[in-house]
Structure 1
Amino acid sequence: MRIGILQAGHVPPELAASHDDYGIMIQRMIARGGREFSFTIFPVVDDRFPSAIDECDGYVISGSRFGAYEDHPWIRRLEQFIRDCFTVSLPMVGICFGHQIMAKALGGRVEKAAAGWGVGTHEHRLLSAPGWHDRPSIEINVMHQDQVVELPPDSRVIASSSFCPVAALEFADNGLSFQGHPEFDNGYERALIEARRGGVVPEAVADTALAKLPGGDLARDADTLSRWIADFLHAAH
């Protein structure tokens, strides 16, 4: 199965020497899910898209420093690409910005949340997730200020928290999206928080998140989400 990774952003320049770019992070994350895929990375943030939607059998949209509501030609083109994929039921997964742009493209609404920045490791309650009944919640790294605040038609919330009510969505039979970052290992999450501390992320918010980051390489449920995403793409094809 051919998976296209629609890379909507790049690792900040100051972190690029020691961390892979987002497309590689997502490829590695999905590979941990135990399914056989081939991958092609499309840097859509640089306006490099698949030549046609059937160039791949499914797509994953990465995070981005841009907002889904921003008016950039590549974002408008990505929204249309999403709608075209859904018209023919191609499986699609969104992560952070990908979660938000899928919701917006299909009729939802995204805005900066009054709650402010969510960074570090957050826990999201599982509300309705077929086949995912082995746990009541997922714990995952997050890095966002924007949130989905209005659902698109034919979608349902499958994970939530008091900070982020729409933490994951299921779209009909061929879409799945998460606000969190299963592709961010703890080392990159820490480095990104430190880089943004006192800038876009308030110092107090950053310091609280840094103090609570767990040991080990990955957030507690990063591998669980990798399996869910891989299984979803495999089953939806």
Structure 2
Amino acid sequence: MATKRLLYLGNGRTLQSVAKLDDRFESWGLKVDRYWAANGEFPSSLDGYDGIFLSGSPHGAYENIDWINREHTLIEEAADREIPQLGICFGSQILASALCGRDQVFRRDFCEVGYKDLDVTEAAKDDALAADWGETVNMFVWHNDEVRAGHEDMVILASSDLCPNQVWRHRTAPAWGIQGHPEVTRAQAPEWFEGARERMTLDGGDVDHFIASAHEASEAKTMITRFVEMVQKD
């Protein structure tokens, strides 16, 4: 069987985040093509790609910036081609903006930050990526922007007390969005929290508590590994 190709779009200040998820995708057997979208880097074509991952970003999906507009177009084309897509944080938001309308992403009045138990919906039980979850799933969340929950093409898979759309999938396109950060490992979490201490503190977070309570979020990570399995299928 030929090695499957994954397009990794880096939307952050650097191509690779602290989670190094692009490297982990490779360790799971995918051929990963990395493009730093936030630096204007995009593939010339989607030909040959079996899946697409969209990373987080300090930007908002609603910003009128050239690379964000280009990514909207790429997402729409990928959905038309039925290429599986998974977005985390900003990645979830730009998927929602591209596939359900730019008015689907908004700036919250306050930040939601910390490890949280998310309520898992009935729809998750037979979802291709979220089926391993129980009644709740715990992951770290940190966001000022949010995806609305009421669109007819959105199937909500998990929510929190402060955010009704923490995890969702598109009704018809093979696209999934995760607002939180299941990708960060227990070992990586303290480095991430410490590096973002000033911003997290301004957003109302207790960084020392986050470091002390960091964990693997293993159950939440099954959504990522199921995405890899989906991409690897013929």
Normalising by the smaller structure, the TM-score range is 0.7 to 0.9
> Is this contact kept in 1: 2:117–2:139, CA < 8 A?
yes
Q: 1:27: how far off?
A: 2.1
- 1:77 aligns with 70
**Corresponding position of 1:229:** 227
What corresponds to 1:175 in structure 2?
Answer: 175
After superposition, what is the alpha-carbon deviation per residue over 1:176-228, rounded to whole angstroms, capped at 9, x for unaligned? Answer: 1111112222454334433444446427x221x54145656623434323323
| In 2, Cα distance between equivalents of 1:152 and 1:121 | 27
Counterparts in 2 of 1:160 and 1:232: CA distance versus 1, 3 Å: farther
Establish whether residue 27 from structure 1 lines up as the match of residue 43 from structure 2.
no
TM value normalised by structure 1:
0.81
Name the counterpart of 2:155: 156
Contact 1:2 1:56 in 2 (8 A): yes
Match 2:8 to one of 5, 9, 13: 5
Q: 2:35 aligns with which of 30, 34, 42?
A: 42
User: Counterparts of 1:61 and 1:224 in 2: how far apart (Å)?
Assistant: 17
Q: Give aligned pairs, total.
A: 223
Q: 1:111 aligns with which of 102, 106, 111?
A: 106
CA distance in 2, matches of 1:72, 1:154: 25
Percentage of pairs with the same residue: 26
1:55-66 aligned at under 5 Å gives the runs: 55-66=48-59
Contact 2:19 2:188 survives alignment (8 Å):
no
CA RMSD in angstroms comes to 2.7
For 1:229, give the aligned amino acid: F
* Gap change, CA 1:232 and 1:159, over 3 Å in 2: farther
Inter-partner Cα distance in structure 2 for 1:134 and 1:189? 22
Task: Determine if contact 2:7/2:53 at 8 Å carries over to the other structure.
Answer: yes
1:94 and 2:92 are equivalent in the alignment: no
Shift of 1:119: 2.6
Unaligned runs of 5+ in 1: 12-19
The CA distance in 1 between the partners of 2:214 and 2:143, in whole Å, is: 22
Q: Structure 2 regions of 5+ residues with no counterpart? A: none
**Larger RCO (alpha carbons 8 Å, 6+ apart):** 1
